[in-house]
Every structure is written in C-alpha cells, then in structure tokens.
Amino acid sequence: MVATTLMPLVVGNWKMHGLSASLAEIRLLAAMLEGVELACDVAICPPATLLRSVSEALEESVIAVGGQDCRPEPSGAYTGDVSAEMIRDAGATLVIVGHSERRGFHGETDELVREKAAAAHRAGLVSIICIGETEAQRDAGNTLDVIRSQLDGSVPATSTAGNTVLAYEPVWAIGSGRTPTEEQIGEVHDVIRSHLTSGLGRDADEIRLLYGGSMKPQNAASILKIPNVDGGLVGQASLSAKDFLGIIAVFAPL
C-alpha cells in the first residue's frame, strides 16, 4: 500500500469510448470492489451519453461518477454543450476541465478552463483541472514555466481542497505509451504543490495532485509512490475493469 498524507484518488477517464453495452464493465468493477476496504477514492468519468446510466449502475457502489467537460454558463442557447448543473443533475459529483485534448482540439484557453472550474464549484461539483506541457515545450526546457502559467490562469479563486483536484498530464505522454521518468514527474508535482501553496495558502497542502499519461497496471506502483502524487487520472486502462482494478490495487491490494 502506498503511504500518503492525503486520501488518494484514482479517476478513470473514458474519453469518447463507451456504449450501453459498456455498462457491463462498470458493473463488473463495482462487483470486484464490493466489500473491499479501499485506501483510495475511485471515480469513473464516462461520456455524457452514459452519465445517468452509470450513476444508476453505481448507486450502491463506492465508485463516484464524473463528467468529462462542462460549459461555464448554467444554461442557454449552446447547442451540443452540457452545463455543470446538468452533469450534477445526471448524478455526477466531479467533472474534468482543461484536459489537453480539449485545450488542443478545441483551443481552450486557461481563462476558459478557469471559468469552467468555477462553474463546477457553483454547481457543487469537484473540478479536476488538467495541466501539462507539450513535447516541444518540454524539449525547449520550458516545462516548469508552462506549468506555473497554467496554474495561474486555470485555477479559480473559488478553489479549495474540498472542491478541486489538479491533474498533471504531460501532453506528449497521453496515449503514447511513453512515460516521464520518476524524477521528471516528481519535479513537476513538487512545483505544482509549492505554487498552489503560495497562491492559495495552507489549504493547498490538501489539494490532491494526480498524475495522468499512459498510466497502466505495469507502471502504476512506481508512479504512485512518488511524493506529491496523490493518485492518477487513467485513460485507456480504465476501460477494462480488470486493468483499472490493477491500478486501484496499488492502494488496496486485492
């Protein structure tokens, strides 16, 4: 079991995967965790089309449910968008904002990410704010400056340990099979912690910092033992109950 001063959090981001038949994996994971004394919190973020169904399937489970994105406004003429209030109404308690795929494919800025995180707080959701550098930024030696800038621009003043989680996802590692070294991950997480503390005060010491980027059962234990890594934001591996359980088991051997 990994030692940490915070309750770790393991979040599965299903991205644009999952149909009704995928609920079988959700129910299987819930069954595998039934009666298990977990040493971490667990959440699944399915696509919006499955939010209500997943919430109902996990109603009696320890697994929380989250959305993958939200619009800042509570309602309005925004065809195809989903508000934080809608996500909450569908049974979720968390929402991811600022994922690199949103920043990259949709041109989302730090300012917009900050507005989305504030909207999540308004709706009573925990915001999982994603930050991370591109390969070009890493190669140019700008990683830490990029991280500090994203923190300054993306974290709203409403953020507290109770309503905010930070997820560091090096863009070049997401879905690539490549993983930064433990030293690289530790350096960034240490900077995130110290920068949050200087900006938000003592409460920032209790904000959970997740690592995301090609995390899988084979490398989870070594990553999750790094100081200031308080859990993981898991992509591909979370689609399989067995693989996701292999990551959760780092905190609660099953």
Report the alpha-carbon distance of residue 132 to residue 111 in Å, rounded.
15
Tell me the pLDDT band of 253, cut-offs 50, 70 and 90: low
Report the alpha-carbon distance of residue 245 to residue 254 in Å, rounded.
9
The residue among 72, 70, 66 whose CA lies nearest residue 41 is 66
Question: Could you tell me which residues come within 8 angstroms of residue 14 by beta carbon, excluding any fewer than 6 positions away?
Answer: 22, 44, 45, 46, 47, 50, 68, 238, 239
- Tell me the mean pLDDT in the region 240-253: 92
Query: What pLDDT score was predicted for residue 2?
Result: 38
- Burial class from Cβ neighbours inside 10 Å (0-12, 13-18, 19+) for residue 230 reads buried
pTM value is: 0.95
Query: What pLDDT score was predicted for residue 13?
Result: 98
Tell me the pLDDT band of 12, cut-offs 50, 70 and 90: very high
Structure tokens at 119: 């909207």
Query: What pLDDT score was predicted for residue 1?
Result: 32
Report the alpha-carbon distance of residue 128 to residue 155 in Å, rounded.
10
Catalytic residue numbers read: 99, 169
Report the alpha-carbon distance of residue 212 to residue 220 in Å, rounded.
10
Tell me the pLDDT band of 44, cut-offs 50, 70 and 90: very high
Tell me the pLDDT band of 6, cut-offs 50, 70 and 90: confident
Structure tokens at 75: 């309602």
Sign of CA dihedral 12, 14, 20, 22: negative
Please indicate whether residue 2 or residue 26 has the higher confidence score (pLDDT).
26
Q: 165 by DSSP, 3-state: which?
A: strand
Decide which of 3.20.20.70, 2.40.30.10, 3.40.50.1580, 1.20.120.80 is the CATH code for 70-247.
3.20.20.70
- Reported as a single tens digit per residue, the pLDDT across 85-127 is 999 999 999 999 999 999 999 999 999 999 999 999 999 999 9
> Is pLDDT of 231 > 80?
yes
String of DSSP letters for 56-70 = HHTTTSS-EEEES--
Please indicate whether residue 142 or residue 254 has the higher confidence score (pLDDT).
142
The residue among 197, 43, 62 whose CA lies nearest residue 125 is 43
> Is pLDDT of 47 > 70?
yes
Report the alpha-carbon distance of residue 235 to residue 244 in Å, rounded.
9
Report the alpha-carbon distance of residue 47 to residue 154 in Å, rounded.
23
**191-204-179-109 Cα dihedral, nearest 10 degrees:** -90
Q: How far is CA 88 from the centre of its chain?
A: 17
